[in-house]
């Protein structure tokens, strides 16, 4: 089993490979910045993945010191396995960001069509979440303090936003067209 960060690293370091520093800069300069750019997170993660055989690395000799990691065949397999895993559980709150990453990586690493099918699966999960939260609100809304009710409402709105996004993806609408 690989973590979300592992998957992102494997994804980024395909083709020509990437150094730890390259990845840190990507995390700093793009909205990928959800992940920590701290060296204490990146370098050990790369080293671990190499130990597990998912990366091979080469120290560049000319110019600046630089160790370039490149995804191996085994790394390919691991990444494909991560993509194919079932959508863990609802409520999805905690893995929402992981699902987003999976969408992007699936589109790039497999195909847009497959990413759309994944979005369709996400849609179902989000719909279940909305239903569960709305049921909870109907059951306990009256007994809850105002602020808790409001927070629950925010949760519902968040899932509905995701739901609509999935539908737009499936229908080829919006920015992602």
Establish if 36 lies at the interface with DNA (CB under 7 A).
Answer: yes
Judged by CB under 7 A, the stretch of 21-29, 102-110, 130-138, 149-157 that binds DNA is 21-29
Does the protein bind DNA through residue 145 (CB under 7 A)?
Answer: no
Contact between 5 and a copy of itself per CB under 8 A:
no
Phi (first) and psi of residue 70, to 5 degrees: -135, 135
The CA distance from 121 to 38, in Å, is: 33
Q: How far is the CB of 6 from DNA (least distance, A)?
A: 7
Q: What is the DSSP letter of 34?
A: T
Long-range contacts of 141-150 (CB under 8 A, 24+ apart): none
Identified binder of DNA from the candidate list 15, 31, 63, 86, rule CB under 7 A:
63
Among 26, 43, 110, 121, binds DNA (CB under 7 A): 43
- Note whether 165 binds a copy of itself by CB under 8 A: yes
Residue 159 contacts residue 126 (beta carbons within 8 Å) = yes
CB 89 within 8 A of CB 133: no
Q: Does 44 participate in binding DNA (rule CB under 7 A)?
A: yes
Q: Hey, is 36 helix, strand or coil?
A: coil
Give the integer Cα–Cα distance in Å for 71 and 153.
43
Determine, following the binding rule CB under 7 A, whether residue 67 of this chain makes contact with DNA: yes
> What is the arrangement of strands in the sheet containing 66-71, beginning at the earlier edge strand?
18-19, 66-71, 55-60
* Residues making contact with a copy of itself (CB under 8 A): 30-31, 33-34, 91, 93-94, 97, 100, 103-104, 106-108, 112, 115, 133, 136-137, 141, 145-155, 157-158, 161-162, 164-165, 169, 174-177
Residues that bind DNA (CB under 7 A): 3, 5, 19-22, 24, 36, 38-41, 43-48, 63-68
């Amino acid at each position: 089993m690989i973590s979300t960060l592992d998957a992102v690293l494997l994804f980024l370091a395909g083709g020509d490979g990437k150094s730890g520093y390259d990845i840190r800069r990507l995390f700093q300069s793009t909205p990928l910045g959800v992940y920590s750019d701290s060296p204490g997170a990146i370098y050990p993660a790369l080293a671990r993945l190499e130990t597990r055989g998912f990366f091979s690395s080469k120290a560049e000799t000319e110019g600046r010191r630089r160790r370039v990691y490149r995804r191996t065949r085994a790394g390919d397999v691991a990444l494909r396995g991560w993509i194919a895993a079932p959508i863990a559980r609802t409520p999805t709150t905690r893995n929402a960001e992981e699902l987003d990453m999976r969408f992007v990586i699936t589109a790039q690493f497999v195909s847009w069509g497959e990413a759309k099918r994944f979005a369709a699966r996400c849609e179902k999960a989000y719909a279940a979440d909305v239903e569960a939260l709305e049921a909870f609100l109907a059951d306990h809304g009256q007994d809850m303090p105002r602020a808790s009710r409001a927070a629950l409402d925010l949760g519902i709105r968040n899932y509905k936003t995701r739901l609509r996004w999935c539908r737009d993806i499936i229908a080829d609408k919006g920015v992602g067209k």
